Copies of this chain bind each other. A is one copy, B any other.
Amino acid sequence: MERLITKLALRDDLTAKERDRLVALVSRVREFAPGDEIVREEIPVEHSSIILQGLSCRQKVLRDGRRQITAFHIPGDFCDLHSFMLKRMEHTVLAMTACRVALVPHERLVQVTNEEPHLTRMLWISTLIDAAIHREWIISMGRRSTFARLAHLFCELFVRLRTVGLTKGLEYSLPVTQSDLSDAMGISLVHTNRTLAALRQRGLVTFANRTVNIHDWAALQRAAGFDPTYLHLERQPR
């Protein structure tokens, strides 16, 4: 929870009361094993989930079996806050590692949004940033080379993980397979493998042993066309 609060507080101050209300949202904590579905497509839910520990992703499997990952959720992410209002989920949220997840009953969210307008706006913002990340992915998939696209993802995750204290220097853990990366980038596994090799050879970044190691942060950003503005990490009173 500390991480969620840290993230929200980046954008505007939270009062002690607001922090308390956030903490009180949680009804219980659940553990998921790698591969478990945290939220299953189609099944209406009565609570939203905050990732406390572990990595999860939002994905959709098409009828022909192809899979697309639309987002990664890291600790501190309110990963399906939107299910609070859009009960029917079109996607599955999948635990990629062991995950510890805080469950927030929707009726508590209704209460909080009735009583705490400022906190409501702060939560709203976090969903708006999710949308901004989606737009950046669309740009990546549409108009960036696979090389730049992968570089951009590594940049995005680096910045997001750093905000919640999950990087060490220029290194961070990204416990996914190359196949997962492929499904996030919309390319084939073979091509992912070759593009990773190219990123490595150019001395930008290495992805090995489920760890991302950035060799040249400035060059990586340049190659990716990465501009962190869209993550809205600066203070912006609401």
Partner of A143, one of B67, B227, B229: B67
B-facing residues in A75-118 (Cβ within 8 Å): 82, 85-88, 90-91, 110, 113-115, 117
Q: Tell whether, in the assembled complex, residue B129 and residue A120 are in contact, meaning their CB atoms are under 8 Å apart.
A: no
Known: A68-B142, A117-B117, A142-B186. A230 touches B131 (CB 8 A): no
Cα distance A217–B113 in the bound complex, in angstroms: 40
Question: Does residue A130 face the partner (Cβ distance < 8 Å to B)?
Answer: yes
Partner of A86, one of B67, B90, B132, B141: B132
Copies, count: 2
Known: A120-B117, A127-B124. A90 touches B142 (CB 8 A): no
Known: A88-B229, A120-B120, A138-B141. A131 touches B82 (CB 8 A): yes
Residue-wise interface mask of A (150-190) relative to B, using a CB-CB cutoff of 8 A (1 in contact, 0 not): 00000000000000000000000000000000011110000
A-B pairs with the 10 shortest C-beta distances?
A142-B186, A134-B134, A131-B131, A141-B141, A82-B128, A68-B142, A66-B143, A68-B143, A70-B135, A114-B117
